[in-house]
Amino acid sequence: MTAPQLAVRNLSVSFRLKTGQALQALTDVSFTVQAGETLGIVGESGCGKSTLARAILQLVTPTQGTVEWQGKALNPHDRVAMKAYRRAVQCIFQDPLDALNPRMTVSDILQEPLFALRSELGKAAIRQRAADLLQAVGLAAEMGNRYPHEFSGGQCQRIGIARALSVEPQLIVCDEPVSALDVSIQGQIVKLLADLQRGHDLTLLFISHDLSVVKSLSNRVLVLYLGRIMEIADTASLYAEPLHPYTRMLLAAIPLSDPQQERTRLANIVVGAGELPSPLNPPAGCVFHTRCPQVQPVCRTQVPVCREVMGRQVACHLVKDVN
């Protein structure tokens, strides 16, 4: 059996605050991603989505667990292997303008990673590639002489996508790439990502709190809550029949276009009362039990194991195995 392109094994990340407290951002997260697929990663703000992205990108050091690339565990001390990994895995950030150096022209921004990771191409080829990348994301090549502040938010995100594509990566981590954009622009960016994925044989990790956006792009969806995996399933199954109460809460929060249906939806939402607990003091047992309307005594004391049920992974005491 072919090894997954990316594998996260029992990954935990904690941070020591100035107060001396430990903030547990991720706990025992495991999943795999096959080449060419899009895995959506969803959850409320503060659930650990961006920390997971940074751990995969090796921008934060895991407390325990490993990240494997094409069957081999990453070793941050192996400079040759890490340079190859940096070229293979790139990122698109949430704030398109903040992610671009305001003192550099767009052309220089696109050339910078090429000089760092593909310097063998030579100056002329790198300049030409920067111009080609702008056209690939729907911008004119002559726009390379401008600075980021001269572009709209949607155009800046196109530049960010071009920069991620510059070194011809195999996988791109998209960390909420459309959340800062107008709704009309979000659709354009999602379509651009889908087109580029097909054209460049890319694998995508698409992180978002907007399940309607994730549905349109993802093959599978991973649901995070307070740093733990609640459910992983193929997109069609998860949206048609969510097993975990938290997944049902997220789906129930998707706005409806019909005003009457929207009023009915809002009136019937009963799952997820209360606020997200603090990761500084997470609940014992199932971390979702403080907001779950179906909570049982076992939920308050025992952490549910993420296990396979109905062809998906789910961590919930209430979901019974199907023989």
pLDDT in tens, 14-31: 999 988 888 999 999 999
Which pLDDT belongs to residue 150?
96
> Mean pLDDT, to the nearest integer, of 298-319?
94
> Mean pLDDT, to the nearest integer, of 247-268?
65
Mean pLDDT (the chain) is: 90
Distance CA 168, CA 160 (A): 14
Q: Is the pTM of this model over 0.85?
A: yes
Distance CA 145, CA 3 (A): 43
> Mean pLDDT, to the nearest integer, of 165-191?
91
Which pLDDT belongs to residue 210?
83
Beta bridge partners, 38, equal: 204
Q: Are 144 and 131 in contact (CB under 8 A)?
A: yes
Query: What region, left, alpha or beta, does residue 70 occupy, with left being phi > 0 and alpha being psi -120 to 50 degrees?
Result: left
- Number of Cβ within 10 Å of residue 149's Cβ equals 9
Which pLDDT belongs to residue 262?
42
Beta bridge partners, 314, equal: 231, 307
Q: How confident is the model at residue 271 (pLDDT cuts 50, 70, 90)?
A: very low
> Mean pLDDT, to the nearest integer, of 59-88?
94
Domains along the sequence of the chain with CATH: 6-218 (3.40.50.300), 241-323 (no CATH)
User: Biggest alpha carbon distance in the chain?
Assistant: 67
Distance CA 237, CA 232 (A): 10
Beta bridge partners, 13, equal: 26
